Amino acid sequence: TEAISQPHRPDPVPAPLKGERDLFTKFDPLIQQRRELLESGLADPFAMVMEKVLSPVTAICNGRETILLGTYNYMGMTFDPDVIAAGKTALEDFGSGTTGSRVLNGTYAVHRDVEEALREFYGMDHAMVFSTGYQANLGIISTIAGKGDYIVLDIDSHASIWDGCALGQAEVVPFKHNDIEAMEKRLKRIPAEAGKLVILEGVYSMLGDVAPLQEMVKVAKANGAMVLVDEAHSMGFIGPNGRGVAEDVGVIDDVDFIVGTFSKSVGTVGGFCVSNHPKFDIMRLVCRPYVFTASLPPSVVATAATSIRKLMHAADKRAHLWANSRRLHAGLQELGFQLGTKTPQSAIIAVLMPDLERGAAMWNALLREGLYVNLARPPATPANVTLLRCSLCAEHTQEQVSDILEMFEKAGKAVGII
Ligand code: PMP
């Protein structure tokens, strides 16, 4: 009947029942903090809209051309003509979406092809593609480490890693960021017979610093642990073939699982795990965040496959990106800004702000100058720090890096940070 088929719609503003708890009360401090920030006349750093995107490094924001220094488009692949052509062809050949899971109707030839591209890129036996990098961590971690197993991980790990740990219900043992000794101590306390997984990141995205993977992977292996490295922010850029930090420091063969994403250097969306583990393929049947969600649209995986194969031969772009990173790091340091790392270690350069208010003011001043960076704040950042995260692209020209430095100087002086 009508009454049964209609979903129940509560009154727009339901009258509170006696003793009823509003589940949103816990957000009140954050709502208040946001209100105060916006009432001070600043633009909302978390509601920026790009009205038009002109290239990997420029967009129209608030009606003006803006240099983008806060994207993950490290290798500038989003406007690559071959990548765009591959997407268009797949859109026409396969339609706009798969409407199904990878294990049912959602595996097309292009999904298989992007996994082949990943195997070629990493020189590994197995590759499994997820709908996002977040889901790749969620799925792989929760499926391989369950009740009774132990996960030893860096305290500054990405949210998707923490959420994967929580979903799998393994014992979680964090250690101080990048501290090899602390990691070893934790590992030695775990019962010898227990299953152990060490989770590390190649580049940590908030400060742009790199993990001491050579030592850490050695310690993990010596203590009988499997190792998963999230190379989200290093893929395409770091290492002789762009395979990441593990390749750069020569331990990639000792890493059991590399997790990555298509949403950064690859320039689209999607996540993956590659591995040489002989039983890896069983993951396709038991990994819930892989099975119980729709697969990526064919156009997305086709662009990813083309981009990944081009990244295999992108040594010149890698060299230019390193040059950009060094110049920006040195320039900002010379201007007197406090940075997240003493030397440039990745394409991310974090500029530390004294507090959220001045961080937001600086973010606004830069935007008015025509520069977009990321404003990052706790809880996403370590040690309660507010920072402006600059991420460089291989498509930024030398002139743009000079312009960026000038904008930082002007804004920094106006806000009183330098
Ligand atoms: N791992 C790390 C280290 C990340 O920084 C991110 C995204 N910022 C992810 C995983 C998730 O990637 P995706 O955007 O594909 O969900």
**Does 26 map to a domain?**
no
* Ligand 1 within 6 A of CB of 201: yes
* Ligand 1 within 6 A of CB of 158: yes
CA dihedral 159, 161, 162, 164 (to 10 degrees): 120
> What mean pLDDT comes out for the span 225-242?
98
**Other CB atoms within 10 Å distance of the CB of residue 27:** 11
User: Looking at the predicted structure, is the pLDDT value of residue 16 above 70?
Assistant: no
* Ligand 1 within 6 A of CB of 232: yes
Residue that is written with structure tokens 């100058």 in the block: 369
* Ligand 1 within 6 A of CB of 234: no
The whole-angstrom separation of Cα 72 and Cα 391 is 7
Domain end: 281, 311, 341, which one? 311
Convert the pLDDT of each residue in 274-317 to its tens digit.
Answer: 999 999 999 999 999 999 999 999 999 999 999 999 999 999 99
Q: Which of 73, 261, 290 to mutate to test the pocket of ligand 1 (most atoms within 8 A of CB)?
A: 261
Residues 355, 374 share a domain = yes
The whole-angstrom separation of Cα 347 and Cα 331 is 15
The whole-angstrom separation of Cα 110 and Cα 101 is 14
Q: What is the CA(271)–ligand 1 centre distance, in A?
A: 8
Q: What is the CA(414)–ligand 1 centre distance, in A?
A: 34
Q: What share of the chain is helix, strand, coil (3-state, %, to 5)?
A: 45, 20, 40
Per-residue pLDDT, 17 = 61
* Ligand 1 within 6 A of CB of 131: no
Residue that is written with structure tokens 């990526």 in the block: 296
Which residues neighbour 305 within 8 Å (Cβ) at sequence distance 6 or greater? 86, 110, 113, 114, 116, 117
* Ligand 1 within 6 A of CB of 160: yes
CA angle 105, 110, 116 (to 5 degrees): 115
Which residues neighbour 165 within 8 Å (Cβ) at sequence distance 6 or greater? 141, 142, 145, 151, 153, 172, 199
* Ligand 1 within 6 A of CB of 133: yes
The whole-angstrom separation of Cα 413 and Cα 260 is 38
Residues 126, 41 share a domain = no
Lowest average pLDDT, out of 169-183, 328-342, 374-388, 398-412, goes to 374-388
**Does 298 map to a domain?**
yes
User: Looking at the predicted structure, is the pLDDT value of residue 46 above 90?
Assistant: no
ipTM above 0.90, yes or no: yes
Residues 266, 362 share a domain = no
Residues 257, 332 share a domain = no
Q: What is the pTM of this model?
A: 0.94
User: Which atom of ligand 1 has the smallest separation from the CA of 270?
Assistant: 15
User: Looking at the predicted structure, is the pLDDT value of residue 15 above 70?
Assistant: no
* Ligand 1 within 6 A of CB of 130: no
Q: Which of 72, 263, 266, 300 to mutate to test the pocket of ligand 1 (most atoms within 8 A of CB)?
A: 263
Per-residue pLDDT, 176 = 97
Distance of CA 213 to the CA centre of its chain: 18
The whole-angstrom separation of Cα 291 and Cα 131 is 11
Give me the domain span that covers residue 409.
37-75+315-415
CATH number at 360 reads 3.90.1150.10
Residues 329, 243 share a domain = no
The whole-angstrom separation of Cα 309 and Cα 269 is 16
The whole-angstrom separation of Cα 41 and Cα 74 is 32
Convert the pLDDT of each residue in 358-406 to its tens digit.
Answer: 999 999 999 999 999 999 988 888 888 999 999 999 999 999 999 999 9
Per-residue pLDDT, 6 = 43
